[in-house]
Structure formats: structure tokens, C-alpha cells
Amino acid sequence: MKIGIGYDVHKLVRNRDLIVGGVKIEHEKGLLGHSDADVLTHAIMDSILGALSLGDIGKQFPDTSPEFKDANSINLLKKVYESMYDKGYIIGNIDAVIVAQRPKMAPYIIDMRKVISDTLNTSIENINIKATTTEELGFEGRKEGISSHSVCLLIKK
């Protein structure tokens, strides 16, 4: 077994789609980043890469590379999955949290779990996603950005 932890944060800005966990969310702002800035998927990728001792998404998918400009993070997660599978591991489980004051994430969590579980070829029961606010404290509370944390357990196949 291997355990990994991931964290990501992106700034909220106008004129960008808000994509979280591979799901487009209607909101007046979206997340700024070199790719689609999917903060949840990025945290999950980092937790898997960490468990595998493969660095992080910045190492695997550098923001200096035009290849990853506006990339769909679910497609990047597929590449991380392939690396994980090639190293002889499958998902045991993932537990993740999205930290955002607005918009409310609860209506989208089932869809996020489905997209992530399908991408990682695992049961939806192995993917847990929670959402919380910061009671208006910090950058998330001021609605300046969204962060996400993820922990994963990988098991030998």
C-alpha cells in the first residue's frame, strides 16, 4: 500500500469556466490557471503522484509547456492513472475536500465522484468528496479562490 496527499489552489476570475472534479459549474467566475484549473482534480492527481514518488503535477505537466495550455484536467488524470497502473497499483480509496465559500458544491458532488471514479477505473464507493466553507475567513472565504485537499490510498493490483 502507498498513501499520498495533494493540495491545490486557484484564483477565481471573470471570463473563465468553473470546472471542479471534471464538472462544469454555473458561476459568474471560473478558476485561473494554465490548464482548465480544476482544483479538485489537481489535488487528486498530486495525491496519486505523491504516493508513487513521481513528484507533482507541476513536474509532470509543467505550466511552461504549451502542450498543457487549457488542458482538460480529466485527460491529465487519465495519464496519471496510466502511470499508476503501469507501476502496479490501483485505487484503494480517495478522500478529498473542496474549500469554497461560493458556489455551493453539494449539488455537484455525485457527478464529480462519477467522473473521477470512471477516469480512475474504480468504484464510485472508493471516491469520497466533501465540500466546506471557511466561514468567510481567508481567501476562500473572501471568494478570491478555491482550494482542495486529497488523500489517496493505492494498493498493489
**Which residues sit in the known binding site?**
8-10, 34-35, 42, 56-58, 100-106, 132-135, 139, 142
**Which residues sit in the known binding site for a divalent metal cation?**
8, 10, 42
- pTM score of the predicted model: 0.96
pLDDT tens-digit map of 76-124: 999 999 999 999 999 999 999 999 999 999 999 999 999 999 999 999 9
Domain that holds residue 41: 2-156
User: Into how many domains does the chain fold?
Assistant: 1
Residue 66: what pLDDT?
A: 84
Residue 145: what pLDDT?
A: 98
Question: Alpha-carbon dihedral of residues 76, 82, 88, 94, nearest 10 degrees?
Answer: 40
Give the CATH number of the domain where residue 73 resides. 3.30.1330.50
